Amino acid sequence: MTLDVPILKRLAPSMKRAIGISAAALVIGLLILFLGAQPQLDVIKAAGYEVHSMNAQMAQMRADIANTEPQKEATDKVMAERDALLALGVIEPLLGSFAMRGKTLLDPIAQQTGFHIDSVRELPAIPLQLPKPAPEQLYYRQPVEFTGQGSYTQITAFITQTETFNPLAALSGLHILGQPQTPEMHRAVITFEWPAKGEKVKPTASTKKK
């Protein structure tokens, strides 16, 4: 290494060598310092990116928490509307009988419209397609057959008001038979289907062993 500085030309060769060695050592020291600090700078830069990402996640979490209560209120409202609809339409057996439940529901309508109910019969339930595994509480369609007498106007009024006050009941069968002895009165066989619910039948101990 050559130092071409006028003032240094007057120095002794040994002094020149000492200054050269010191300068070289300084350059090497700075190079080592830079190379040693660069990884730390990279770590600091990566940490900065991570802090920025965590701040963004924190802001999103705060926004989600702020929306939790409105979402819960909306969900509760929908669930209340569903429960109200099911309360109006889903039937359960009365003393183990859907026929008795159906008669209890439609007797007031029959009295109001003038349709006379002679008999009520529970028909086999119609199963619905179930997810797998099946839930503990099952829903299915339960037909109930009403046989009675009335004029055409009374029969249609009975059907119309039944569907009005039982929004989930569906008319699934209707037979009107004329009666020669009383032409103004007709015999009607009317079938309504309700959504019904019941517990899933659990296998007995003997069935499990098979």
- Kindly report, residue by residue over 13-40, the tens digit of the pLDDT: 666 666 666 776 666 666 666 666 566 6
Tell me the domain boundaries of the chain: 1-89, 98-205
The pLDDT-based confidence of 66 (bands split at 50, 70, 90) is confident
- The pLDDT of residue 117: 95
**How is residue 200 annotated by DSSP?**
P
Asked whether 144 and 162 are in contact (CB, 8 A), the reply is no
Asked whether 168 and 90 are in contact (CB, 8 A), the reply is yes
pLDDT above 50 (res 67): yes
Q: Which range, 32-41, 60-69, 114-123, is most confident?
A: 114-123
Q: Is 13 left (phi over 0), alpha (psi -120 to 50) or beta?
A: alpha
Question: What's the pTM value of the predicted model, to 2 decimals?
Answer: 0.54
- The pLDDT of residue 187: 94
Specify the CATH number for 98-205; select among 3.30.450.20, 1.10.10.60, 3.30.70.60, 3.50.50.60: 3.30.70.60
Query: Which is more confidently placed, 69 or 205?
Result: 69
pLDDT above 90 (res 110): yes
- The pLDDT of residue 207: 39
Cα separation, 2 vs 139, in Å, equals 99
| Chain centroid, CA 106 distance in Å | 34
Cα separation, 37 vs 30, in Å, equals 10
